[in-house]
């Protein structure tokens, strides 16, 4: 547990009631903007999936899902989702969605292994989205085009929010800056991955870091990614591996880079084989999701998640994600925040 208290922090919205109104404003506007930018249909999504199917996401490969038996299904084990990357791809295949269109959903998850701080909670809420693409769209230029559309949806939301709440002034730059994680390593060789992110986002304010999950030239990885959803191993037109990444914004309240979205072009058959082998996880090829993908039964897709509480926290200039969402926090953290005027829901 750790918490950062910004010096002189002030709730710009003034009251809990105004904050709740602003949260609804952001959520309503952004999901409409995102849907329009990417041609997405809202669908209903599960909160739990059956264990052992490979449908749940492994995230970094070490987080434990919340599991429980289902009495009326012979005590079959179910687990609360971490995210819906693989479920969405199955859903797109079932629906027969054509290239150029996709789906989004309100994803609610539990991640009990999170280290609780200003940004991380055991409760996760995000707009999980996925779109069907042509096989020839599995390229860096297409990834960048999609990132720009999502960034435009964020900017439009920020500008409209300013009309409703003029005390919150727009801060986003006109364009988002792209850099590969290997280029970031070469530019700042003496810094840790998070310190590199701070350095580049401090300069450009809005950055997309490409190629997260694969090994860099020094043998490290920028950040963890599971082997079976994002494609972090296929070479792009820049000569580096990876067709995925994170959208990072400069957070003026916390004074560091702030991730609002993790996304990417998803693995095809070859990338899945390659990435499972690199991680020593070939056994997953026998799971339901992986069998169908390797058999060519699932569409090529691009997708990701945009954190709902994260985006609200950024746009409303909040210091703690607990000012946006209702979750469980250590009493010591609650007391420390209350003393600094940070009101946790």
**Rounded Cα–Cα distance for residues 118 and 337 (Å):** 10
CA distances from 20 to 34, 241, 244, 296 (A): 21, 42, 33, 45
The neighbouring-strand residues paired with 41 are 103
Contact indicator for 7, 342 with CB cutoff of 8 Å: no
Q: Which tokens hold the place of 131? A: 């779109």
Active site residue 238: no
Active site residue 181: no
Q: Which of 259, 261, 268, 327 is catalytic?
A: 259
Q: Which of 35, 57, 79, 225 is catalytic?
A: 57
Active site residue 246: yes
Q: What angle do CA 58, 61, 63 make, to 5 degrees?
A: 80
Contact indicator for 222, 193 with CB cutoff of 8 Å: yes
Q: Which of 111, 225, 274, 310 is catalytic?
A: 111
Active site residue 326: no
DSSP at 143:
H
Q: Which of 256, 273, 216 is nearest to 240 (CA)?
A: 216
Q: Which of 35, 83, 126, 309 is catalytic?
A: 126
CA distances from 87 to 13, 83, 84, 109, 288 (A): 37, 9, 5, 14, 11
Q: Which of 83, 181, 261, 262 is catalytic?
A: 262
**Rounded Cα–Cα distance for residues 159 and 171 (Å):** 9
Active site residue 72: no
Q: Which of 184, 160, 182, 181 is nearest to 172 (CA)?
A: 160
* Terminal-to-terminal C-alpha distance of the chain: 18
Phi first, then psi: what are they for 127, rounded to 5°? -85, 105
**Rounded Cα–Cα distance for residues 29 and 48 (Å):** 27
Greatest Cα pair distance, the chain, in angstroms, is: 57
User: Beta strand pairing status for 76-80 and 67-70?
Assistant: antiparallel
Q: Which tokens hold the place of 72? A: 């009326």
**Rounded Cα–Cα distance for residues 302 and 305 (Å):** 11
**Rounded Cα–Cα distance for residues 272 and 43 (Å):** 26
Active site residue 262: yes
Q: Which of 246, 266, 268, 317 is catalytic?
A: 246
Question: Which residues are the active-site residues?
Answer: 57, 111, 126, 246, 259, 262
């Amino acid at each position: 547990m750790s918490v950062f208290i910004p010096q002189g922090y002030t709730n710009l919205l003034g009251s809990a009631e105004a904050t709740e109104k602003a949260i609804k404003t952001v959520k309503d506007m952004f999901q409409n903007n995102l849907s329009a930018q990417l041609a997405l249909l809202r669908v209903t999504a599960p909160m739990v999936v059956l264990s052992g199917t490979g449908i749940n996401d492994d995230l970094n490969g070490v987080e434990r899902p919340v599991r429980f038996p289902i009495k009326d299904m012979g005590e079959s084990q179910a687990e609360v989702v971490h995210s819906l990357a693989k479920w969405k791809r199955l859903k797109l295949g079932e629906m027969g969605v054509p290239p150029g269109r996709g789906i989004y959903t309100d994803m609610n998850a539990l991640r009990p292994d999170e280290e609780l701080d200003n940004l991380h909670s055991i409760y996760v809420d995000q707009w999980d989205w996925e779109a069907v693409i042509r096989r020839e769209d599995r390229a860096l230029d297409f990834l960048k085009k999609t990132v720009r559309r999502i960034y435009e949806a964020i900017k439009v939301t920020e500008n409209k929010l300013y009309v409703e709440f003029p005390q919150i002034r727009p801060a986003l730059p006109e364009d988002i800056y792209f850099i590969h994680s290997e280029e970031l390593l070469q530019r700042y060789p003496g810094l840790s991955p998070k310190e590199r992110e701070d350095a580049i986002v401090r300069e450009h304010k809005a950055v997309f870091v490409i190629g997260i999950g694969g090994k860099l030239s020094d043998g490290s990885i920028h950040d963890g990614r599971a082997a079976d959803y994002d494609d972090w191993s296929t070479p792009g037109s820049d000569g580096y591996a990876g067709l995925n990444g994170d959208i990072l914004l400069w957070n003026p309240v916390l004074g560091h880079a702030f991730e609002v979205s993790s996304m990417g072009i998803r693995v095809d058959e070859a990338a899945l084989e390659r990435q499972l082998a690199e991680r020593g996880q070939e056994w997953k090829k026998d799971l339901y999701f992986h069998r169908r993908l390797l058999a060519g039964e699932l569409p090529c897709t691009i997708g990701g998640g945009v954190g709902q509480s994260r985006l609200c926290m950024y746009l409303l200039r909040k210091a703690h994600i607990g000012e946006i969402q209702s979750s469980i926090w250590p009493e010591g953290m609650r007391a420390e925040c209350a003393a600094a005027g940070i009101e946790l829901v």
